[in-house]
Amino acid sequence: MEEAWAVVLAAGLGTRMRSERAKVLHPVGGQPMLQKVQAVLRDAGFHRQVVVVGHQAEEVARVAGEVPGVILRVARQAEPLGTAHAVLQAMAALDGVVSGTVLVAYGDTPLLRAGTVRRLHEAHRPGETLCTLLTAEAADPTGYGRIVRDPAGGRFVRVVEEKDADPETRRVREINAGLYLFDLAALRRVLPEVEAANRQGEYYLPDAVARLAREGGVETVRLEDAEEIQGINDRVQLARAEKVLRRRILEHWMVQGVTVIDPDTTFVDEEVELGQDTVLLPFTFLEGRTRVGARCRLGPNARLVDSRLGDDVEVQMSVLLEADVGEACRIGPFAYLRPGARLAARVKVGDFVEVKNSTIGAGTKVPHLSYVGDATLGAGVNVGAGTITCNYDGRQKHRTVVGDDAFIGSNSSLVAPVTVGEGAYVAAGSVITRRVPAEALAIGRGRQRNVERWAGRRRSNDGERGAGER
Task: Say if residue 392 carries a ligand binding annotation.
Answer: yes
Task: Say if residue 163 carries a ligand binding annotation.
Answer: no
- State phi, psi for 456 to the nearest 5 degrees: -65, -45
Q: Please give the positions annotated as active site.
A: 368
Q: Are 335 and 352 in contact (CB under 8 A)?
A: yes
Q: Are 424 and 439 in contact (CB under 8 A)?
A: yes
Q: Please state whether the peptide bond connecting residue 339 to the residue before it is cis, i.e. omega within 30 degrees of 0.
A: no
Task: Say if residue 203 carries a ligand binding annotation.
Answer: no
Task: Say if residue 119 carries a ligand binding annotation.
Answer: no
Q: How far is CA 414 from CA 279, 370, 378, 439, in A?
A: 38, 11, 15, 17
Task: Say if residue 9 carries a ligand binding annotation.
Answer: yes
Task: Say if residue 233 carries a ligand binding annotation.
Answer: yes
Task: Say if residue 107 carries a ligand binding annotation.
Answer: yes
Task: Say if residue 412 carries a ligand binding annotation.
Answer: no
- The residues near 173 (Cβ < 8 Å, ≥ 6 apart) are 137, 138, 139, 141
Task: Say if residue 391 carries a ligand binding annotation.
Answer: yes
Kind of pairing, strands 27-28 and 31-32? antiparallel
Task: Say if residue 89 carries a ligand binding annotation.
Answer: no
Task: Say if residue 357 carries a ligand binding annotation.
Answer: no
- C-alpha–C-alpha distance, residues 318 and 354, integer Å: 10
Task: Say if residue 371 carries a ligand binding annotation.
Answer: yes
Task: Say if residue 11 carries a ligand binding annotation.
Answer: yes
Q: Please state whether the peptide bond connecting residue 333 to the residue before it is cis, i.e. omega within 30 degrees of 0.
A: yes
Task: Say if residue 455 carries a ligand binding annotation.
Answer: no
- The residues near 209 (Cβ < 8 Å, ≥ 6 apart) are 131, 133, 158, 159, 180, 218
- C-alpha–C-alpha distance, residues 203 and 187, integer Å: 14
Task: Say if residue 336 carries a ligand binding annotation.
Answer: no
Task: Say if residue 425 carries a ligand binding annotation.
Answer: no
Q: Rounding to the nearest 10 degrees, give the CA dihedral for residues 275, 278, 284, 290.
A: -20
Axis-axis angle for helices 33-43, 57-64 (nearest 10): 40
- C-alpha–C-alpha distance, residues 259 and 278, integer Å: 6
Task: Say if residue 146 carries a ligand binding annotation.
Answer: no
Task: Say if residue 108 carries a ligand binding annotation.
Answer: yes
Task: Say if residue 380 carries a ligand binding annotation.
Answer: no
- C-alpha–C-alpha distance, residues 428 and 417, integer Å: 20
Query: Any alpha helices (H) in 364-421, and if so which ranges?
Result: none
Q: How many CB atoms lie within 10 A of CB 327?
A: 19
- C-alpha–C-alpha distance, residues 245 and 52, integer Å: 25
Task: Say if residue 243 carries a ligand binding annotation.
Answer: no
Hey, is 241 helix, strand or coil?
helix
Kind of pairing, strands 407-408 and 431-432? unpaired
Task: Say if residue 385 carries a ligand binding annotation.
Answer: yes
- C-alpha–C-alpha distance, residues 14 and 136, integer Å: 24
Q: Are 207 and 190 in contact (CB under 8 A)?
A: no
Kind of pairing, strands 131-137 and 174-183? antiparallel
Q: Of the candidates 33, 66, 225, 209, which has an alpha carbon nearest to the alpha carbon of residue 138?
A: 225
Binding positions: 9-12, 23, 77, 82-83, 106-108, 145, 161, 176, 233, 338, 356, 371, 382, 385, 391-392, 410, 428, 445
Binding positions for UDP-N-acetyl-alpha-D-glucosamine: 9-12, 23, 77, 82-83, 106-108, 145, 161, 176, 233, 338, 356, 371, 382
Binding positions for acetyl-CoA: 385, 391-392, 410, 428, 445
Binding positions for Mg(2+): 108, 233
